[in-house]
Amino acid sequence: MGVSIGTLIIGSLYWDPEPNRARWRSERLDLAASRNVFAPIRYGRRSDSRGNSYTMVFSEALTRQEPHMGCAIAIPCARPVHSIQALVEEAQHLWAAERTRDSFNGRISADWGCIALALNPSRCVPQELVDGWSHRVFQEVGYGRLCRAEDEGEIVNASGFLIIPWPPRTDGLPLELDALLATATDPTIVDGQYPSVQEIASAWKQSTGEAHVEYFWRNRECGITTFQDNEIEKHLNESRSA
């Protein structure tokens, strides 16, 4: 029997119509089995490719602040994993989708983020798979060197594991997967802090970011949300009515 692997998705990877991402979703994921789950996410990374507006990141501090947990989407991979080679292949496909490419580049990380693995503590994942994942991560130069706020611990450890509670489904049922792959991106931290809600909304009001505000609205439509959303929406609506 194989290990059931899924992908924990935040942001545009779920809805972006870009062809390579759309192909990855249709070929590598069981989209019909998508589930909304709670996850420690916020807007926190300033993205050059999105007009210097903000995209979502995982935040370790939110794991200790239950009211501030957001909602992400967990989707099973279309195939179970029977070996470390198969697990790494799923990670490489995910990384290619993040890079909007249809080919591997021999890596599962870059200076802006990395693929990490979360294990279900109620399941027994073979130790050879756990050790094999860490061995693969150790081969990555500069893996997991993500910024963090002054009150935070690491969100991805040196062995390649995502340091978050196992994501519960929003409907109260357990998420029946053995493990999840996820992309952790590097947040933009200034003076030890994440951007404020006003800074986040203001970035979408700028001429460079205005064309990318769809990122926020599409996330909302798809049920990918943060504790900041209502305040962000308030600021955005104020600019519309001004």
Q: Report pLDDT digits (tens) over 113-149.
A: 999 999 999 999 999 999 999 999 999 999 999 999 9
Nearest of 183, 186, 177, 141 to residue 162 by alpha carbon: 183
CB atoms near residue 164 (< 10 Å)? 24
Contact 206, 52 (CB under 8 A): yes
Phi (first) and psi of residue 17, to 5 degrees: -80, 0
- Which DSSP state fits 18? -
Contact 152, 60 (CB under 8 A): yes
**Euclidean distance between CA atoms 19 and 127, whole angstroms:** 36
Token pair for 80: 């179970």
* Axis crossing angle, helix 197-205 with helix 229-241, rounded to the nearest 10: 40
Q: How much is the pTM?
A: 0.95
Q: What pLDDT score does 207 carry?
A: 84
Q: Give residue 101's identity as a one-letter amino acid code.
A: R
Contact 240, 201 (CB under 8 A): no
> Please, which residues bridge with residue 190 across strands?
193
Per-residue pLDDT of the chain (242 residues; tens, 9 = 90+): 689 999 999 999 999 999 999 999 999 999 999 999 999 999 999 999 999 999 999 999 999 887 899 999 999 999 999 999 999 999 999 999 999 988 889 899 999 999 999 999 999 999 999 999 999 999 999 999 999 999 999 999 999 999 999 999 999 999 999 999 999 999 999 999 999 999 999 999 998 889 999 999 999 999 999 999 999 999 998 855 44
Which residues lie below 8 Å from residue 176, measured CB to CB, with a gap of 6+? 4
Contact 112, 79 (CB under 8 A): no
**Euclidean distance between CA atoms 37 and 97, whole angstroms:** 21
Q: What's the count of helices (H) and strands (E) in the chain, helices before strands?
A: 6, 8
